[in-house]
Structure 1
């Protein structure tokens, strides 16, 4: 059974959803931004507490990589795109074409854009790091202003590679 919590951040509110997978492990299934919430729900599980702590560290420029169990629901194609997004280094960005080439499907640029827009775990699966081929910010479920803020936030931090 899915469990929700809400968490304040510099960009408004984050709603985090967790569930239990087939191996009886709690996993993150969704993360969405909103400007306001109708009901505050404190983190209730250890994973929700861990995720909120890592999000706070990210916003405080103390974390560049999330270490959380994720289980986004989507097609095989969407899964491949979302895995490619997770390989975009902190502080960098890629175009939709770059992602299409990375998943060995160079003609799927529009499909990559659609999969990117359907990413259920924003920020942790960094769809905000994908921009248009022209270098312009295009599309973001959380809003272009949030996307711009996130890219600037990451750009201002020195990049640290995971060990």
Structure 2
């Protein structure tokens, strides 16, 4: 069962002189994972700067995840975090892979890091709620579903999570 929604960021920061525009375009194009992996690999080989390198690793990790190569996806998301530890989307996406693999505690830890960097990241709150639900932590799960709904009131998956846990109201149990 796939829980994660993989985020795609465009590489808009500085690129070194050797980086070709078509490699960058391929790295940013999520419609063809094979082409995206090839483009991101070229960008990574030519990029030394933290933000663009982090984004290239993240985009390639997304492509690997879409191809169900979760080991490579996790490695690239980790490399993305190593290149820029403030990349909340890298933590979020690595959490999605962990959640897809049934590693709920690792997923919750990554979502917590993403939320610490971006407290208004409703998808991370939603998915951490799912992870907590998988771990059997009803109280934490309810809190995250509610927080996600405060940010995004029409978030159906959060409402469904509350219903699964027997919570009928956003305010009371």
TM-score, length basis structure 1 = 0.31
Higher relative CO (Cα under 8 Å, sequence separation at least 6) belongs to 1
Which TM-score applies when normalising by structure 2?
Answer: 0.29
**Bigger Cα Rg:** 2
